Structure 1
Amino acid sequence: MSRIALLGLVLLGALFGAAGVWIAERAAPGDLGPADRTRVERIVRDYVLANPELIPQAMQKLQERESARAIGGDRAKIETPYRGAVMGNPKGDVTLVEFFDYNCGYCRASLPVIRQLIAADPQLRVVFRELPILAEESRDAARASLAAAAQNKFPAFHEALYAAGPVSAATIAATAQRTGVDASRLPDDADTEIAANLALAAKLGITGTPTWVVGDRVLSGAQPLDKLKEAIAAARMR
């Protein structure tokens, strides 16, 4: 069977669930005779060409299924905030998780979107997971941020450090002083938390920031407000 036909069967399987899987399984090489395989290839090819809008729909469903599998039994680890590293409603019915780096310009640009989401949704909880992958200063900032979280000053520190511009030892120290954070009081488990976040990111296939996890979806990169709202609504309906 050609790769194109096989892809088509996979896409149909993603769209039509058990019925599509039934077709795909029985269209595998060796299960059908040459004439039957040719007929299946033609049917799938014609259908996909006649309905090209199904391809992005199918790819989205496949991605959602892969994300749900990856999240799997780690959901509690992903959605449980490190001490005070949370905004919005701490007891909200939906959790939006952001894996972020303080040196990430797209993460900084996403902060107003997060504010809008929280303002519009009183049942939303936003959990922040440190993922310092862009520079050594990112790790220093992550440690200071975890110290702020442990001292129940995460939101103020988080917003102030982004507002301070490019991350450096000076901006970290100035932000800590401005927000009343004792950055020298580094929690004993700070490096363990960072290592755990890096491990979770690897398991989820996260290679950049920001990355969002909500419900069964993993969204990479800065996202528009409407797309995050849609993902939150879908998670709420799970």
Structure 2
Amino acid sequence: MLIVNKSLFRKGLMLMASFLCIFASLFMPIWGGHGNGLDAADNMFNRLSKGSSYFIPGVKKQALELEGKSVTITAKVKDAKLAARAVENLTKAGATAEFKDDAVTYTGDLGKILGAALQDADDLFNDHGQAVLERYAVTDKDAEKTVVKAWWSVLDPSIKELQKQKLIQEAKVVGQVNKRGLEPGYNFYGIKSEKVLDNVLPLVGLLVFYVIYTMWYGYAIFDMFGGIGLGMSKPKIKKEA
């Protein structure tokens, strides 16, 4: 390899070496907690996401407006375990339900059914999983999460069934229960909730580090290539004689 500018090449090499050292350290458990640097950053963003994802009270109001609305729905649920759990959930909510031919057929007050699902989601979101376990008298590992997952598995296909029955508004509310209630409750269970305003400095620090670290790598490549004569320059314009 022909090096035309040794000082520039050495500078780029040092930048690349230091970049790789920091890059390697990001995968080591030296950043606090039990994970590496990427885990620490991911956990922080998860906590901040949870702090701004609590929409359940608003969805509960929408579900409350549907109380007294009786529906009969046949929802496809291929997972037999979740289907069986969904039947128990629905029965607990005052509906009649059965699982047959890969589908759960249930009849009941839609508002009360959605209210029960949101109560379980709310408990999970606020890390009160024990309340869900006691409500359904279950003791299996991660049973509280299975309860909420079963709600989602039966309500998701119910949306299309409601649309087929021309119950468009009801279908929209069920969609909101899934997206803004069950999914956040399930996904954020066990994660501490924090507000962005309480973590401004760490957040800004991460963003600044990301920008500087990206430029760091860019300048390392730029200087190394410049050192071997592969630089970027404006082409000279040939003048006619």
- Superposition TM-score, scaled by structure 1 size: 0.29
Structure with the greater alpha carbon radius of gyration = 2
- More relative contact order in 1 or in 2 (CA 8 Å, sep 6+)? 2
What TM-score, normalized by structure 2, do the two folds share?
A: 0.29
